[in-house]
Amino acid sequence: MNKSEFQKFYNQSIQDPEKFWAGVAGQEIEWFKKWDKVFEWKYPNYQWFIGGKLNITHNCLDRHINAGLGDKVALVYTNENYERCTITYQELLKQVNKFANGLKSLGVKKGDKVVLYMPLVIEQAVAMLGCARIGAVHSVVFAGFSDKALRERIEDLKAKTIVTATWTLRRGAKKDLKSTVKEAVKGLDYVERVIVLDRDNDNVIPSASDGFLNRGSSMDKRLSRHPDFIGTPHNDKIDASRDDSDREVGYHQLIDQQSDVCEPEEMDSEDPLFVLYTSGSTGKPKGIVHTIGGYSVYTHYTTKKVFNLSSDDIFWCTADPGWITGHSYIVYGPLSNGLTSVIVEGVPDHPAPDHWYKVIEEEKVNIFYTSPTAIRMLRKYGEEYCKKHDLSSLKVIGTVGEPINPEVWQWYCQNMGGGKCPVVDTWWQTETGGHMIVTLPGLPQKPGVAGRPFFGIDADVVNKDGSSVKAGEKGFLIIRKPWPSALRTCLNNPDRFNQYWNEIKGAYFTGDFAIKDEDGYIRILGRSDDVINISGHRVGTAEVENALVSHPAVSEAAVIAKPDEIKGERIKAFLVLKGTAAGNDELIKSIKLHVRHE
C-alpha cells in the first residue's frame, strides 16, 4: 500500500467508521448471527456489533478446519534447550474442546472467571481458547509475578478456578509456579479448583536430544497419559476448608477422559472475553475488560494489515500472553488469520546470545515482532552473532511496548532486517486491545517515530483543553472516537474507566505525550504522568533515555527524578554500558555533553 492509497482508505474509515467496520466485520469474521446495529455511543459507554452472535474460537479454529486447513500447523513451541513440538489446527481444536469439557465438568460456566498462571507453552493457549469456547472469562497473569500480585488479581476477580503448571523455564533454571499459586490462594475459600500441568511427569515436550523436529510433527505423540496424577476426582464437591491438595486436579487427569467435541457457545458481541490487569497511577492494578465482537474484528484486521500477511506466513511475537501483546499477537490475531504462530519459552540470550537468531533460521520465521528492550539486549552483543545465521526468511519486523530510539531502530533494520524488511513500529496499550499508531509496510519510514493512526483511529495531539497543537509541538495523545477493541470497563471500578473519557471530555485520554509532524506521523514521547520538572521545564523521561542510548558507549538507560533544592527536580540516570566501556569521570562528562547536545 503506497502513501496515496493509504490516505484514501484512511479518510474513508474516518468519514464513515460504522460503514468501514461493518465491512471489515462482515468480510473477515464469521458470525452465528449478524449484528442489528454497528455502533452505539452513550457517553462514555459504547458498544459495537450490537446483537451479533459469535465465538472467537470458531474464527480461530473451526473455520480454518472447515476450509481444509486442519493439517496446517497452528502453534510451534520451542525453548532454551531447543526442545520442540507442534500442534495442527485439527489437533488444537481437539485439545481445546477437551479442556473446555473439563472446565464444564468442574462446574465452570459462561461468565465465570478463570485465572491462568502458566508458562509460555502450548497448553497456555489451549487454556485460553478452552475458556473462550464455553464463554468463561480468562484472566492471564504473567508467570513472573509474585504470590501477592497473583492473589490481588484472584481476589478482584473472585475466581473459583486457577490453571497453573509446576514450573516455568528461565535461563536454564526451573522457576516454581505451583508453590506461588499455593501461597496466593491461602484462605481464599471461594477458590474451588487449581488445575496443575505437571511438566515433569506429563512429558509435554520431546527430549532435548531430539533437537528440532520437522515442521508438522504431531502433538499427539507428546501427550502422555497419567491416570495416577495426584488430585481429587474432578466431579467431587469441594470443601474449601480442606487442605490445599484437595483443590488440586491434574491437567491431563482432567482432560484426557473428556470428549474432543464441544460446540462453541454462541456469545453476544458485548460479552466479556478476558480481563487483563495493567498498572495504574494509584498503584492498584486495573482490570481491563475486553469483549468478544469488537476485539475479534480488530485484532484479526490489525494482524492482517499491519504485518502485510500472506496465508503461509510463520509469525513470531516474542511477548507473553501475560501481557496484551501476547493475547492479541501470539494467540488470537495469528490464529484468527490461520497463521503458524511460534512461541518460545525463555530469554533472548540463553543459552547463547544467538538463541533467537537460531530460532528464526530454524523456523524460517517471516514476521518477527519484539520489544526495543530485547533489541537493545541483542545489540549489546554485537553483529557477529546475527551474521552467523540466515535470517533471509524475514519479510516484516516490528517493535512494540515502548518507543524505539533511531539508533536502535537503524541497527534492527540493518542487522536483523537486512536493510530490506519494513520496520513496523507500533504504539498501543492494554486498554486499546490492538495497534493504534503504526507505520504500515509500504509507507515511508521514520526511525524512532511510531507512524500514522491505523484505519478507523481518529488520533490527535492536543493541549489540556482538547484543542489541537501545531505540528512539531508537544501535547497529549488522544483518540477522539471509540474503536471496536477499546476497553469496555475496568472490573469493579467504573469510575476508573470513566477517567479515560473525562480527562479531556469526549475523547480517550491515552496518558502519553506525543508530537505530530507535518506528514501526520506521531512520535511517542513517554507518559504524561511520568515527567521530570526542572526549573519549570517539563522533561519526558523517554526523551532523556533516547538521548542517553544514542551515545556510542551506552546500551540501556533509565532515568528518574531526584529532589533538588534549587531546581525542584534533577535527573538521575542508570546506565548499562556496552562491552568493555569503563564508567569513569571522562565517560560521564562525555555522556552529559552528548545528552545536552541531543
CATH number corresponding to 535-598: 3.30.300.30
Q: What is the mean pLDDT of residues 381-390?
A: 95
Per-residue pLDDT, 598: 65
509 - beta bridge partners?
Answer: 478
DSSP per-residue letters across 368-437: EEE-HHHHHHHHHT-SHHHHTS--TT--EEEE-SS---HHHHHHIIIIISTTTS-EEEEE--TTT-S--E
Backbone angles phi, psi at 175, to 5 degrees: -95, 120
Per-residue pLDDT, 560: 87
User: Tens digit of pLDDT for each residue in 306-344?
Assistant: 999 999 999 999 999 999 999 999 999 999 999 999 999
- The SS3 of residue 148 is helix
Per-residue pLDDT, 237: 34
Per-residue pLDDT, 225: 30
Pairing label, strands 340-345, 73-79: parallel
Percent of the chain with pLDDT over 90: 81
User: Tens digit of pLDDT for each residue in 558-580?
Assistant: 998 887 655 657 899 999 998 87
User: Tens digit of pLDDT for each residue in 417-428?
Assistant: 999 999 999 999
26's enclosing H/E stretch is helix 17-28
Per-residue pLDDT, 536: 34
User: Tens digit of pLDDT for each residue in 483-515?
Assistant: 999 999 999 999 999 999 999 999 999 999 999
User: Tens digit of pLDDT for each residue in 443-469?
Assistant: 999 999 999 999 999 999 999 999 999
Q: What is the mean pLDDT of the chain?
A: 90
pLDDT for residue 557 is more than 50? yes
User: Tens digit of pLDDT for each residue in 237-288?
Assistant: 333 334 567 899 999 999 999 999 999 999 999 999 999 998 754 557 899 9
Q: Which residues contact 9 (CB under 8 A, 6 or more apart)?
A: 1, 455
Q: What is the mean pLDDT of residues 52-73?
A: 99
